């Protein structure tokens, strides 16, 4: 079963009061034969009213101004903290239940309503015997005679403790968040996007832009942005606000960077986090937090400048390295000695141009091929005998080899080499340059 709100229950109470009043009038006017039926209707209506009062934590009261007599429903006594029918219902009995701090205000509300024949509206606290505090609310209406004079007041008292506690917590929460907002470094603000006006702006806006919160709240939203940023924000609002309103609930957040004009005509760069939401009245509000990112922007600009500077230096260094590498390669290729390197299987993996010129092969014709394919049978025997020892020992000095040129001629040489090993001590390659030098003591076979 769906619970009814106190507002709904109050409406039912008022409707029941009207029906009872009509029945009482009918009883007074009705002829005796029908009195029994009207009495039953009246009792049934009073029973329904009693149930409604109990559900609403409410009680009924009546004050006859002519006799000063008070009438309280059974539900009203426990609300006042009194024992049921433990005393005579009266103004003094009611007054004694009111918290001392609220007594004067409550009495003045009653007296004003009685003197001016107006509706009674009052709220006060009662203290129970155990010390607990409860809040009560009373609403009363004057009943007038045919001359317009008030004869009596009838009304209802409702326990509003839950509502008051909620309001107190809400006020505490609002005060806490207002304190945070008022002392925040970032600017916290609330905007009515329909009116284009700020509802709240935290004091930190003066440090950010030079304007006081009051000055900002009297200005339109347009004044808070540069033309370029206003165009961006307006486009965002146009695109997103109707969709959010159509959705009807929830929140939606965005982060943007905008430029804002200051009172001294300077421009401050800000990062703005905005959240769309619906307030307690169902209207759309935008809560924003604006953070000064001017220093960050300057740092980013310096970083970009630095990156550009180092990019240019890197490009210049790369050019110089390439030029130096080309010079080294030229020195290697055109050295007066032939240089080469062999892998662990004795295959050529490097050879300079001088060596190619002596052997009269192209680079493609030598790289990847075994050393032994380019020496005489005597050289083959010497290589097979000494290469394994070379890989273990790590060097060889002035070893004689006879190379067979591409044209079949013989080139007597002296070979010098050192080895390169990996971290595990395994042979990787002969270190360039391993040199081959024509053996001057043995003339080569001419072409």
More confident residue, 44 or 143: 143
- Per-residue pLDDT band for 24 (boundaries 50, 70, 90) equals very low
More confident residue, 147 or 409: 409
- Per-residue pLDDT band for 73 (boundaries 50, 70, 90) equals confident
For the chain, what's the residue count?
A: 447
pLDDT at 444: 52
Pairwise CA distance, residues 64 & 81, whole Å: 23
Q: At what angle do helices 35-55 and 6-29 cross, to 10 degrees?
A: 160
Q: Across residues 391-404, what is the average pLDDT?
A: 91
Is residue 433 a contact partner of residue 337, using CB atoms and an 8 Å limit? yes
More confident residue, 381 or 443: 381
Q: Is 161 exposed, middle or buried (0-12, 13-18, 19+ CB in 10 A)?
A: middle
Query: pLDDT tens digits, residue range 416-441?
Result: 999 999 999 999 998 765 566 666 56
Query: pLDDT tens digits, residue range 205-255?
Result: 999 999 999 999 999 888 999 999 999 999 999 999 999 999 888 889 999
Pairwise CA distance, residues 215 & 285, whole Å: 20
| Residue 342 scores a pLDDT above 60 | yes
- Per-residue pLDDT band for 182 (boundaries 50, 70, 90) equals low
- Per-residue pLDDT band for 2 (boundaries 50, 70, 90) equals very low
Residue 440 to residues 414, 417, 443, 444, Cα–Cα distance (Å) = 9, 19, 6, 9
pLDDT at 30: 41
Query: pLDDT tens digits, residue range 89-129?
Result: 999 999 999 999 999 999 999 999 999 999 999 999 998 77
Q: pLDDT averaged over the chain?
A: 83
List beta partners, residue 347. 370
Whole-model pTM? Answer: 0.40
In 3D space, the residue among 256, 244, 315 whose CA is nearest the CA of residue 291 turns out to be: 256
Query: pLDDT tens digits, residue range 274-300?
Result: 999 998 788 899 999 999 998 888 888
Question: pLDDT exceeding 70 applies to what percent of the chain?
Answer: 80
| Residue 3 scores a pLDDT above 50 | no
185: three-class secondary structure by DSSP:
coil
Is residue 204 a contact partner of residue 211, using CB atoms and an 8 Å limit? no
Q: Across residues 361-369, what is the average pLDDT?
A: 95
Pairwise CA distance, residues 371 & 389, whole Å: 16
User: For domain 6-166, which CATH number applies: 3.40.50.2000, 3.30.565.10, 3.40.50.620, 3.30.450.20?
Assistant: 3.30.450.20
| Residue 350 scores a pLDDT above 90 | yes
| Residue 27 scores a pLDDT above 50 | no
Superfamily name with CATH number, domain 334-438: PAS domain (3.30.450.20)
| Residue 168 scores a pLDDT above 80 | no
Question: pLDDT exceeding 90 applies to what percent of the chain?
Answer: 45
In the CATH hierarchy, which fold is given to the domain comprising 184-292? Answer: Beta-Lactamase (3.30.450)
Pairwise CA distance, residues 275 & 244, whole Å: 11
Is residue 312 a contact partner of residue 304, using CB atoms and an 8 Å limit? no
Is residue 207 a contact partner of residue 189, using CB atoms and an 8 Å limit? no
pLDDT at 74: 87
Most confident of 50-54, 70-74, 179-183: 70-74
């Amino acid at each position: 079963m769906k619970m009814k709100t106190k507002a709904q229950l109050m409406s039912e109470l008022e409707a029941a009061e009207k029906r009872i009043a009509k029945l009482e009038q009918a009883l007074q006017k009705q002829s005796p034969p029908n009195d029994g039926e009207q009495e039953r209707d009246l009792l049934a209506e009073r029973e329904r009213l009693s149930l409604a009062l109990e559900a609403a934590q409410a009680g009924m009261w009546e004050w006859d101004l002519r006799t000063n007599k008070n009438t309280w429903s059974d539900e009203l006594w426990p609300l006042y903290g009194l024992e049921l029918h433990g005393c005579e219902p009266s103004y003094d009995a009611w007054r004694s239940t009111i918290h001392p701090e609220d007594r004067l205000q409550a009495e003045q509300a009653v007296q004003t309503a009685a003197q001016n024949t107006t509706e009674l509206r009052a709220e006060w606290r009662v203290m129970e015997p155990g010390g607990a505090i409860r809040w009560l609310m009373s609403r009363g209406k004057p009943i007038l005679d045919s001359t317009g004079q008030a004869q009596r007041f009838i009304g209802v008292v409702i326990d509003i403790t839950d509502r008051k506690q909620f309001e107190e917590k809400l006020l505490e929460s609002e005060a806490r968040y207002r304190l945070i907002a008022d002392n925040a470094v970032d600017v916290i603000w609330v905007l009515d996007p329909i009116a284009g006006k700020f509802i709240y702006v935290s004091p930190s806006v003066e440090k950010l832009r030079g304007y006081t919160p009051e000055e900002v709240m009297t200005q339109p939203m347009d004044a808070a942005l540069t033309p370029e940023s206003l165009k961006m924000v307006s486009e965002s609002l146009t695109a997103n606000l109707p969709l959010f309103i159509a959705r009807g609930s929830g929140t939606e957040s965005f982060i943007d960077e905008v430029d804002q004009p200051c009172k001294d005509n300077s421009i401050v760069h800000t990062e703005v986090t905005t959240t769309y939401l619906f307030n307690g009245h169902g209207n759309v509000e935008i809560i924003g937090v604006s953070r000064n990112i001017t220093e960050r922007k300057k740092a980013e600009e310096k970083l970009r400048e630095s990156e550009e500077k180092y990019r240019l230096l890197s490009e210049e260094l790369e050019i110089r390295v390439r030029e130096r590498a080309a010079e080294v390669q030229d020195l290697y290729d055109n050295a007066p000695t032939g240089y080469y390197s062999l892998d662990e299987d004795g295959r050529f993996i490097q050879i300079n141009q001088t060596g190619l010129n002596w052997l009269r092969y192209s680079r493609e014709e030598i790289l990847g091929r075994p050393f032994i394919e380019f020496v005489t049978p005597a050289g083959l025997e010497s290589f097979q005998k000494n290469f394994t020892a070379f890989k273990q020992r790590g060097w060889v000095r002035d070893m004689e080899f006879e190379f067979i040129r591409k044209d079949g001629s013989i080139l007597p040489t002296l070979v010098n080499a050192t080895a390169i090993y990996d971290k595990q001590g395994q042979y990787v390659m002969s270190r360039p340059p391993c040199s081959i030098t024509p053996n001057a003591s043995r003339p080569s076979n001419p072409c």
